[in-house]
Every structure is written in structure tokens, then in C-alpha cells.
Amino acid sequence: MYLKLSKSEIRALRLLCAQDASVGEMAARLKAKPSFASRILAGLLAKDLVLAEKKGTTKIFRLSSASHAQKFRQLSDSRPNAEIEEWLSGGAIDLLVVANGGVEIDRLLEEASSSRATLYGLLRKMGAVGAAVVEKGTVRIPDSLVASFAEAYADNIQLLMQEDIRGINVSVRVRKHVILRTDAKSVPNAFAETGVSALAKRGLEAFLTSYRDFYFNLDGKRRELSTEECLVHAILLTSLRYNVDLTVLGLFFAKNARRLNLRLLKKLAKEYGVEGQLDGLRQKTEFYEKMRSFA
């Protein structure tokens, strides 16, 4: 839901970039029924792209001051005569969030929510307007305004998905993947336990605090995580110096290396940018094994 904008939502946003509107006024501009305009505005409100203000008995909608709404304004202003809804609607934002910063086509196909055929269709549309390019198996976003809009959009959706959690300590996002450390008592059903919290239930010998680690995806779908993913998430938090001892993870790795899928672990470490830290764990494991041989 959050990572998609319909053509009508994009048209409504462009209209609000120029002028605030009531439901009736928006219906007239979209040449649609008030009930349809009301649904469109409600969808934009849920994504924090618009704000509503009561004036008398009438509700007036305007573009939000949130960064993704303002980045949309900049993008829209940069292409005043272009029908950006033709290539920015549907699964386009999902694609842009995954591809921002450059991504291999295989990873894009794996992480984006759309089918292969839909993704290739979107890439053709974006390629025709210079919003995305495919070079040597890698997808890039050459337009800085498109890239900054995608980044701001993802950041704000992350905040929306976290807003009802009380006591958040820290979270970090890698494309659509978010790792959250919190002392909150409850989290949404779409959040899966990960990191040190999950590893503690899988043999990690560590003293657990009141904090717990969770994973969620911006597409809002709950996923069951492998031990390899939980370990990489723990390494990621450790690499950011968030109260986890890398040595403890090294001992866990040493004790469980034979039952871990090392190829998958290496792949995930690359995707999350913690290859160096994983190599450090492996070196500690080798040292640990050598020391055991002398015992």
C-alpha cells in the first residue's frame, strides 16, 4: 500500500502543488465524482503526502511539508509538461527505493514486489524519460531529483510504520529493509524478531537487556527470517556501535559455523554492506579453532 501511488494520486498531488483544494474542488479538477476524489485524498493523507485543515464545515487539503511531499514538488516542477504519472505510478516507487544508489538487476527482481514482466515494463518506461538506466546488469537512477524523491519517500514511510511504537531507540534502513532496536512492549504484527534477540533463542550466549531487535520491510509484509539473516542484522547494528559486542557474535559464529549457510551469509553481508565485519568474525573463528587445538 505505502510503496505505491496510483495515476490519480499523482495527478492530485500535482494539482495540490499548485493550489490547495477541497474534496469538491479536487473532484472538479480530476473530472471525477466527489466520492472518488475523497478516496484519493484519503490515500495521500495516509502516506503523509497531504495535510487536511478544517475551514468552517469544509476540509481543505494541501501538500504536506514532509520531505517526500516537497521532493515530489521539486520533481513535478522539473517536468512541468510531462505526464510523470505514466512512469511513476504502480510499482515504480517500490522499484526506485530498491534501485536507489544502484542495484544489480537480479537483486532488484528478488526484492521488488512486482513480477518480472511488470518490472521490465517499468524499466522501459523509466528509461524512455531518463528516470532509470540499466548498464551491465545494474539499475541506476541518473536523475538526482528522482533519486532524492525515492530516498525521502522511503524515509517517511519508515517513520510512518514506526510511529505507533513507543520507546524506539534506533533504526537503520537498507533499501526496503529496516532493522529496529526498541524497548517498546509491543510492535506491529509485520515486525519479525531478529538480531541479538532472535539469536539468543538460537544458541547465542549473551546477556539480554530490555531492548529487542526487529526487522520489517517497507512493503508491510511479515517475513520469517533465517538464522543467517538474523546474524547479519546483528552485525549491522554492531557495526553502527549500538551496544552489541562483536566478540559475542564471533563466538556464536564459531559454535554454529557448520550449520550456517555460509554462501547465503556472504550474500546477505554484501547486500547489507557488512562484508568486512563478517570477515572479521570468520578470522576470529579461525583463531578460536586454533586455540582449541592447543587445549
- Domain check: are 102 and 172 in the same one? no
Is residue 207 very low, low, confident or very high in pLDDT (cuts 50, 70, 90)?
low
CATH at residue 134: 1.10.10.10
Q: Which amino acid is at 218?
A: L
Pairing of strands 133-135, 58-63: unpaired
In a domain, 153, yes or no: no
Residue 294 predicted with pLDDT over 60: no
Q: What is the pLDDT of residues 34-92, one digit of tens each?
A: 999 999 999 999 999 999 999 888 899 999 999 999 999 999 999 998 999 999 999 99
- Domain check: are 128 and 174 in the same one? no
- Domain check: are 13 and 54 in the same one? yes
- Min mean pLDDT across 67-71, 138-142, 274-278 is at 274-278
How many domains is the chain partitioned into structurally? 2
For residue 222 the three cell numbers come to 511479515
Mean pLDDT, rounded, of the chain: 90
- Domain check: are 194 and 111 in the same one? no
- Domain check: are 15 and 127 in the same one? yes
pTM of the shown model: 0.90
Q: What is the pLDDT of residues 107-126, one digit of tens each?
A: 999 999 999 999 999 999 99
- Domain check: are 175 and 124 in the same one? no
- Domain check: are 16 and 136 in the same one? yes
Q: Which domain holds residue 243?
A: 167-294
For residue 51 the three cell numbers come to 495535510
In a domain, 41, yes or no: yes
- Min mean pLDDT across 31-45, 116-130, 140-154, 198-212 is at 198-212
